[in-house]
């Protein structure tokens, strides 16, 4: 009798477990963390044409490469107020990730490699008085040239590394959350 009860119990529990399988369909996941769009905007202090660099990768980690656009050319010797924003455009309306980067400024830094087209100076600070890089000043080269301008957002960089606070990425470490390289020109 004991055995019978036991096997009946086992059978019932087994059937019970197998029959209560839930909804079999995957849930759609909106990847809210994804950065799809980097926009760097350069506004001449003394007025003039604004330069806008945009990298947009709407499929995130998918196979499509980002689409790069460069609006406008830099003018020799001009000083620009620079700012960079990060968006997630898979959502509607687009989510502004720039605010998160700013709030966690001590864990993020944006690096600019100007490729010889000018110089970047950070104008913002995190809670430890280290630069974040969301806003900066850009001074275009004194002579006409072309070059590759790279914007890189690093998560958890070593801001105490040699040259890192001055914007040198070489010793920064950390992991790259977003990066884009633009072909830009400095014209007379």
Q: How far is the CB of 169 from another protein (least distance, A)?
A: 5
Contact yes or no for 78/187 (Cβ under 8 A): no
Footprint on residues 114-133 left by another protein (CB under 8 A)? 114-116
Q: Name the E strands within the chain.
A: 37-44, 51-56, 67-71, 74-75, 79-88, 95-96, 108-113, 118-122, 135-140, 145-155, 175-187
Q: How far is the CB of 110 from another protein (least distance, A)?
A: 12
Among 49, 106, 124, 156, binds another protein (CB under 8 A): 156
- Name the one range near another protein by CB under 8 A: 40-48, 56-64, 69-77, 138-146: 56-64
Determine, following the binding rule CB under 8 A, whether residue 152 of this chain makes contact with another protein: yes
Q: How far is the CB of 187 from another protein (least distance, A)?
A: 20
Q: Which is nearer to another protein, 38 or 140 (CB)?
A: 38
Contact yes or no for 131/109 (Cβ under 8 A): yes
- Joined together, the tokens standing for residue 41 give 């905007």
Which letter, b or e, does each residue of 45-67 get, where b requires 16 or more Cβ atoms within 10 Å of its Cβ? eeeeeebebbbebeeeeeeeebe
Q: How far is the CB of 17 from another protein (least distance, A)?
A: 5
Angle CA 134–137–143, to nearest 5: 135
Determine, following the binding rule CB under 8 A, whether residue 142 of this chain makes contact with another protein: no
Determine, following the binding rule CB under 8 A, whether residue 14 of this chain makes contact with another protein: yes
Q: Which is nearer to another protein, 78 or 95 (CB)?
A: 95
Determine, following the binding rule CB under 8 A, whether residue 24 of this chain makes contact with another protein: yes
């Amino acid at each position: 009798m004991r055995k019978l009860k036991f096997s009946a119990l086992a059978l019932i529990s087994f059937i019970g477990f197998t029959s209560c399988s839930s909804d079999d369909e995957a849930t759609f996941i909106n990847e809210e963390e994804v950065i799809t769009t980097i926009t760097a905007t350069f506004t001449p202090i003394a007025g003039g044409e604004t330069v806008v660099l945009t990298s947009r990768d709407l499929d995130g980690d998918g196979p499509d490469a980002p689409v790069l656009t460069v609006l406008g050319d830099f003018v020799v010797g001009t000083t620009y107020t620079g700012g960079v924003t990060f968006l997630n455009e898979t959502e509607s309306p687009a989510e502004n990730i720039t605010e998160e980067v700013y709030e966690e400024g001590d864990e993020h830094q944006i690096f600019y490699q100007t490729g010889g087209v000018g110089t970047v100076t950070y104008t913002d600070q995190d809670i430890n008085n280290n630069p974040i890089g969301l806003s900066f000043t850009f001074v275009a080269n004194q002579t006409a040239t072309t070059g590759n301008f790279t914007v890189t957002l690093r998560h958890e960089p070593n801001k105490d590394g040699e040259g890192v606070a001055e914007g040198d990425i070489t010793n920064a470490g950390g992991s790259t959350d977003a990066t884009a390289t633009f072909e830009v020109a400095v014209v007379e």
